Structure 1
Amino acid sequence: MSSLHTSLATIPNRYAFIDTVDRCASVGSHISLMLIDIVRFSDVTTSLGMKVGDRFLLEIANRIRFLFGNDVEIGRISGDVFGVVFSGEKSHKQLRAKFEHLVEHFKTPMHYDNHAFIADFNVGVTSASTQGFNLTAFVSRAEAALKQAKENKYENYFFINGHEKPATGRSLALKADLKRALQNNELELYFQPQVDLNTLKIIGAECLLRWNHPLDGVLFPGPLIEAAESYNMMQELAYWTFDRAFYSVAELNSRGIDIMMSVNISPTQLYDSKLISHLKYLSHCYAVDLKRIELELTEDIALTNSLMVKKQLSQIRELGIGISVDDFGKGYSNLAYIRDLDINALKIDKSFVLELSDNPINKAIIEAARVIGKAKQCDVIAEGIETLEQLHILREVGLTMGQGYLFSKAIPLNEFVSLTNQEIIVGDSPLRKRLM
């Protein structure tokens, strides 16, 4: 095989590449497959166009060929996913070293027509003996490894050996159930109150997805989102969530309850070119002021260098929608980006609140977040408040907003309406009367 490609068309496509995997397995005793996904490459094609995107893809393919040499086979599995076959027995340590070599090499930017791009990757790897080789199972393991690499928070690499199964029967059943759930109205939004820590009045709510599964009961978002990602249904699920959130705000408004509604947003949604127009449509459809809506981003999304994400966030702010950074402190907390990000609120990760009395550093971190919030003129919200002691400490620190089981778990809309019209209860007595 030639060492360089002059066109993407000369790179074997998925079907030709899988035939190559089968051929390699038939002539050797061991085989390894590495799937290389270019992180958020859709941002390049959206921002710079297909021509520039294709040039970068071609350069990436040729760089991979250069890195791994002519003793490997390379193919293009999908638009921005490449596959590499290594023949011969390779240890996990050797394969990991190849991943690290790949990442290190691509720290050098690529340039084309006054555009620069630094590629980052999600990489899934599997390795197996070719004795009793099953091509479909082998490729499925590599794809499962890549999926897991995408889900890892701190490392974009995952390895599955030849003895591990890529998915359980129950997880596959959940995927099939999701389509039915959307059709049969099994999904529901629950609402966790956000409380003024001084007056103990409800001032907002975070809406959280729940699945009323006919067999398993009420499920939390984890299995649901995993199923949606596996079925490529995240957009459909996101639009359903937004629709119900706007409906809920309208319902609360009709009952004289005027609060801020927080909705979690995923990276997939921020790469959706129809997001802004859809938010405008929902605002008009339900007669909801967009200033009553706040979108919660995880820290890693908020701090991305993505051009499209930055553009979308800017347009969201222009609509009057609030933006908050969720789980603040849980990730790398790049303070330089936090400094430059235009946000309405920082939500302190619950791990710092839950361990407030165990480690004085947690209190210091919360105090630092309060100072940052004051300087940025944004709210600081403590998550995970469960005890009166935690509440007292947060008050001493100067925090004025919070949420957690001390006040209420996430509850259905009708229960939330009832809660806003009564005193918050802890144990058998009103919390407000005990603390005011």
Structure 2
Amino acid sequence: MRLTVIGTGYVGTVHAACMADLGHDVLGIDVDEDRIAALSAGRPPVHESGLGELLARNTAAGRLRFTTSLAEGAAFADVHFICVGTPQRPDGESADLRYVDAVVRGLLPHLRAGALIVGKSTVPVGTAARLGRWVDAVAPGREVAWNPEFLREGTAVHDTLHPERLVVGTVSRRADTILREVYRPMLRAGVPYFGTDTATAELVKVAANSFLATKISFINAMSEVCEAAGADAPLLARAVGADSRIGPLFLDPGLGFGGSCFPKDIRAFAARAEELGAPEAVVFLHEVDRINTRQRRRTVEQARRLLGGSFTGRRVGVLGAAFKPGSDDVRDSPALTVASAVHAQGAAVRVHDPAALDNARAARPELAYAPDVSKVCEGADLVLHLTPWPDYRRLDPRALLSVVRRPLLLDARNALDAAAWRAGGWTVRALGRSGTEAVS
């Protein structure tokens, strides 16, 4: 089939490359001319495992092209996937739909008869119905469907090609049939398919993100209690997660969630529920958000206590800038939030990350950066582990002992082998465990 993918950010680039890899002819569209030029040359805009290879293979095969022209896209295909961003509005917590609306507005004059617009962007419930009424009034015979994405940054290619489920919200059997054809290879492989109305499809996405965010904030609330009680939060998490009704995933006590999805999605969901007259149904999401934000403050406070109550004149090495491993995304990164707060309180901060240094430097130019862990730790009074990259689990604590001023580690992700670091001569503290006294 011929498809367009409009918006070539994280979701759009991955979706376009994966649809081409399934055998479709795909045209990616974006207003950013530099990005289109880079993609046409096979250079992905984000750090994502396997994406570069996918782009190279499918552009070389002629199944994947890129353009800045919506009109060209409308002439090329009858199925158009919208993958543009829906950030939080600058004047509130609702989702900003200006980019979604602009795509539909730009497509309308050019759509062929029977064209199908398919949203993948995360939107407030009711968006597809609103756009459907708009399309019906201007271009009858065209339809709007919603097909939310569930990819995880760091494993986005795998998640797109081998999803746990497909959720497709449509208003007609014809649209459902078209999308079943788009995803036929996945359906043949046994991927569960949930054909729904558009409102349910929109809600599935925000409900899933809200549940996962709640699970993360729950275990972090428990970690705060564990610290106060002298208990062990990671051990508690493993014991709780062994219950099949609960499961271990997303029960990792630590610095909390960040990125471009969870924070803004739960806020937008709560705002939309209030607009619908059901604010009490999701009031818990406000506390989920507060707990998550508090984890960042707690990390800064614990680091300050470890340094005797003040960051002034101290050197702090930071391991991690991306919001999660496997990605170079620093949007709402807990690691960078903590690093910047420590810097603002008087410390000289130097940051390392295996993939996100350029993005971090652009987002937080006030911080210092280095591509080498030893350089980041040089002369440090404290090392903060803030993004759980596998690279950091392979570090040799003894080798770093000679470069730091004080062998003091705060593991805010509970991901390093504390015993190995202590055996290497380090003092180790972690969130969710007792023992936060100052080290002289």
Same fold (TM over 0.5): no
Structure with a larger share of its residues in strand: 1
TM range (shorter): 0.3 to 0.5
**Which structure: larger Rg?**
1
**TM-score normalized with structure 2 length:** 0.35
**TM-score normalized with structure 1 length:** 0.36
